[in-house]
Chains A and B, each alone.
Chain A
Amino acid sequence: MMKRWQALKRLLPLLAMFSLLLSGCGREDLSVLNPQGPVADGQLGLIKLSISIMILVVIVVFAIAAYVLVKFRRRPGQKEMPVQVEGNHKLEIIWTAIPLLLVIVLAVPTIQQVFASGEDKWKQEGVLQVEVTGHQFWWEFNYPQYDVTTAQELLMPVGREVALQLKTADVLHSFWVPSLAGKTDTNPDGTINHMSFSTEKPGTYIGKCAELCGPSHGYMEFRVKAVEADAFDRWVESTKAPAVLPEDTQLAEKFKTNCLSCHAVGDQGGFTGPNLTGIGSRETVAGILLNDSNGAKGSSPVKDNLVQWLQDPQEVKPNNTMPDPKDLGFTDEEIEQIAEYLANYKLDY
């Protein structure tokens, strides 16, 4: 008994170190250091290579600096002049050649990856095409192969390459899912960008806007949700299903005339706001209010988040373009009902 305890005691610091190391790499749905797909994996490879080279450089410089600073301090009473050295050609050549070599070591894989990742996979066989459009301050995802549009949550099947075409509807944004792939800017028409990524691991990955786009730039988050292939097919099916409107006809009418002039549910509504089809089964409201569907830390029930958003959209995302529902004549009670309806608008997949 005693012995086992001692063994455990010896293991404890090791375990602590290990968990520290793991937590040091950050969340696996968010961290660059914890990649979940081949693209981010390759990028981390380059990061590791460059960090190793640079740590080497830093160690050499620090060591010489430390030696010099200790060895060549001016001692009290030191009167004689140090030898005035003009320079040294051999040394100069060494510290020109070695950095040049190190640069080449880093440059070769860099160029390989630049060209590999620069390839446009949009027209390749078997890829999932997604058109990404950045808006102040939300993301629109359109699947031209399936004629489906959604917002804030990019759904993708695992194991299938996703090819993106990115553009913006207003100012520049940048599409970034750290654990799946580095970022690409969304430019206006005429300079449309492309990128691609994939993952084998089902899960939800956090995406962020990485280009200053206005006051709510920091709140312009989104999710990439990787699911099994058949679940993806079911999601497409249920997204295409006819819209479900609130049961209360008066509320449904109000919802239609107000909300659906910008938003869409199913086959009804407009296109200027985020598509709301199945919003009840998304992991966030407005990208920044976390729903408790998968027990994320700091999350709340979907309905509470929807109420919070509808009560004061400007409080959650300053400068967003949605009109205040109260200005449109929604009472607190109606906001409750709309939230209730949207929270229960779930997709089965």
Chain B
Amino acid sequence: MAQAQAQGHVHGDHHHSVKRYTGIMDWLTTVDHKKIGILYLLAGGFFFGIGGIEAILIRLQLIKPMNNFVSAQVFNELITMHGTTMIFLGVMPIIFALMNAVIPLQIGARDVAFPFLNSLGFWTFLFGGILLNLSWVMGGAPDAGWTAYTPLSSEYSNSHGVDFYTIGLQIAGLGTLIGGINFLVTIITMRAPGMSYMRMPMFTWASFITSAMILFAFPAITVGLVLLSFDRILGANFFDVAAGGNPVLWQHIFWIFGHPEVYILILPAFGIISEVIPTFARKRLFGYSSMVFATILIAFLGFMVWAHHMFTTGLGPVANALFSIATMLIAVPTGIKIFNWLFTMWGGQITFTSSNLFAIGFIPTFVMGGVTGVMLASAPADYQYHDTYFVVAHFHYVIVGGLVFGLLSGLHYWWPKMFGRMLSEPIGKWTFWTFCIGFHLTFFVQHFLGLLGMQRRIVSYLPHQNFDTMNLISTIGALLMGVGILLFLYNIVVTSMKPMNAAADAWEDGRTLEWSIPSPPPEYNFKQTPLVRGIDAFWKEKMAGNKAMTPAEPVGSIHMPSPSILPFVMSLGLFIAGLGFMFSREDFSNSFMSFIFNNYLVLIIGLMITFGAMITRSLIDDPGYHIEPEEQEEEVRA
């Protein structure tokens, strides 16, 4: 592997040389938020693809009644892995990709608060995701649904599938928690001079609140997964009725995490839409402060409504009534947001770029998902909707029609900033129309399937129940969505072959700080930290006739964090430890394998790798390195 020794400059106290890597080592060791953003996008995109293939297989099985395309066991593995992969390994990382690529730029920072942790968060997510997906080739994937309700996921699941689920998600969840904490601290401490909280761009606000939600929600699933893996692997009885446990406890723990998770997913999409719509309407966001407070309110209420997933569990009328009302209340702040977006466009000059098409498409689609959410909130009506295709339709309207539309909008919007190249507009529009039409074909009919009596998670259905035609339409729609995603990939490939010539202010009407620096930005982002003089800081300068931001500091030497392989090593250790723990009770035919696994040797080796890397990190001082003004000039010229 090629390594280049950077010149150590003699400049006051800043005398260190640091290893700077190229090629694959550069990607394994990077702590640069922009590169980590790209890594998140690659890995998230990869898992999104796997989840998408699983979705297509599910739809092919349901294309006609009593189909035999996949077996019942494989079908349950597919639905479990589709949900788990899409939520934890597909869309969450793509959200983190955009947060990494954009947040430091939007707040005028040179990196995140903890660049090393940022890298650690990515690698733990990736190794957790790989571990989970290894289940496909190591004795069967988890099959108890992404909700993993006990006792189906504990006493009644005999393969290692659910172990992969608990351990894999545990490791991946660590990454999410680390990422959330990192962005909280970054946004609190690293804003450029003049950027008060109420001057932060909406995407930054949304990411801030999402990170806070991650901080409170992920510990719940962590506890749940620990309890479940103890039940499964060490013979504990947290969820076993016969031994005094309670399976309903799992449902509470899961949804205390699971419902906030929905808002963790959707709030960043709200943030993206709030950036894209003003840019392409050339008008500032309508009702900025009410948008901020609506977002906070949604996050707060999001923690108060988990039991609406459990109306049929038998919690009693008092709980059902309270959770009904709390859930309905969320409609109010969400409604505020919808109208604010519409009135942002009112009186504006709207251009229909592919990014804006996704943002505009988001509004009606998300409204449809939102209103079915209010319908579901009515507990007695939910006794009918619950666990039917009506619910499947509802949450896909919210997560695909809401979040994925938002992500595609954001990716088209920030692509030039991330990669320095504009995505092809014609292909982008084709992507939008195929994906949007495919989406509605797939999921609109599912509302009716649910009401006509089709329950969720069924491998097949008898003919003559009025299900056949709508399932066929749904499958055709899913294939069309697949075409949309393939077009997007094609767009990426075509674009990557074009010259890197995107302008700094790629859409010409950029309002926030990221558009004031080159596309892609240099590794230190801002040569001089900008001075923020109002909301939509860059727009304000442009309107005042300035071409660039007013700097808040003189040109000087920039301190950068050193790259490090340790986050990768720590995560690899966790991966090995996870496998070791999972198979610690396994009877191997090979006596050597039995010896190392049954005596917890693999677990210990894995943990030693992780702790060793942690000790190394603690003992060896990392002074970082400096980029001097002359070097900055060179980079600009290059």
Bitwise interface map of B from 446 to 460 toward A, beta carbon under 8 Å scored 1, else 0: 001011110111111
| CB pair B371 A54 closer than 8 Å | yes
| CB pair A210 B371 closer than 8 Å | no
Q: Does B145 contact A (CB under 8 A)?
A: yes
Q: Does B555 contact A (CB under 8 A)?
A: no
Within A171-203, the residues touching B (CB, 8 Å) are 171-172, 174, 176, 178-179, 181-185, 187-191, 193-194
**Given A85-B347, A110-B324: A50 touches B380 (CB 8 Å cut-off):** no
Bitwise interface map of A from 159 to 181 toward B, beta carbon under 8 Å scored 1, else 0: 00000000000111010101101
| CB pair B290 A43 closer than 8 Å | no
CA distance A298 to B66 in the complex (A): 12
B509: min CB distance to chain A, Å: 10
Residues on B with C-beta less than 8 A from A113 are: 379-380
A72: min CB distance to chain B, Å: 5
Tally of A interface residues using CB under 8 Å: 96
Stretch of B87-95, B360-368, B587-595 lying at the A interface? B360-368
Q: Which residue of A lies closest to B366 (CB)?
A: A61
| CB pair A96 B384 closer than 8 Å | no
**Given A81-B282, A95-B336, A191-B314: A68 touches B288 (CB 8 Å cut-off):** no
CA distance A218 to B287 in the complex (A): 48
| CB pair A32 B331 closer than 8 Å | no
Tally of B interface residues using CB under 8 Å: 91
Q: Does B545 contact A (CB under 8 A)?
A: no
Residues on B with C-beta less than 8 A from A110 are: 321, 324-325, 328, 377-381
**Given A61-B364, A65-B364, A215-B72: A183 touches B381 (CB 8 Å cut-off):** no
Partner of A188, one of B76, B247, B335, B360: B247
Bitwise interface map of A from 214 to 225 toward B, beta carbon under 8 Å scored 1, else 0: 111111000000
| CB pair A32 B453 closer than 8 Å | yes
Interface of A is mostly: mixed
Within A56-80, the residues touching B (CB, 8 Å) are 57-58, 61-62, 64-65, 68-69, 72-75, 78
Residues on B with C-beta less than 8 A from A65 are: 342, 360, 363-364
| CB pair B281 A82 closer than 8 Å | yes
Residues on B with C-beta less than 8 A from A27 are: 452-453, 465-466
Q: Does A344 contact B (CB under 8 A)?
A: no
Residues on A with C-beta less than 8 A from B328 are: 103, 106-107, 110
Q: Does A40 contact B (CB under 8 A)?
A: yes
| CB pair A95 B462 closer than 8 Å | no
| CB pair B156 A214 closer than 8 Å | yes
**Given A65-B363, A69-B350, A218-B459: A106 touches B343 (CB 8 Å cut-off):** no
Q: Does A13 contact B (CB under 8 A)?
A: no
| CB pair B287 A88 closer than 8 Å | yes
Q: Does A51 contact B (CB under 8 A)?
A: yes
Residues on B with C-beta less than 8 A from A179 are: 453
| CB pair B332 A100 closer than 8 Å | yes
**Given A72-B281, A215-B72: A191 touches B246 (CB 8 Å cut-off):** yes
**Given A46-B381, A212-B457: A189 touches B241 (CB 8 Å cut-off):** yes
Q: Which residue of B lies closest to A73 (CB)?
A: B350
* Apart from A43-B381, A82-B348, A183-B386: 13 A-B pairs, beta carbons within 8 A: A50-B375, A57-B367, A64-B339, A65-B363, A87-B288, A107-B328, A113-B379, A170-B156, A172-B149, A176-B455, A212-B457, A215-B143, A318-B71
A residues bordering B, Cβ < 8 Å? 23-24, 26-27, 30-33, 40, 42-44, 46-47, 50-51, 53-54, 57-58, 61-62, 64-65, 68-69, 72-75, 78, 81-88, 91-92, 95-96, 99-100, 102-103, 106-107, 110-111, 113-115, 117-118, 136, 170-172, 174, 176, 178-179, 181-185, 187-191, 193-194, 206, 208-219, 288, 290, 296-298, 318-319
B residues bordering A, Cβ < 8 Å? 71-73, 75-76, 143-145, 149, 151-152, 156, 241, 246-248, 281-284, 286-290, 312-314, 316-317, 320-321, 324-325, 328-329, 331-332, 335-336, 338-340, 342-343, 345-352, 360, 363-364, 367-368, 371-372, 374-375, 377-384, 386-388, 448, 450-453, 455-466, 543
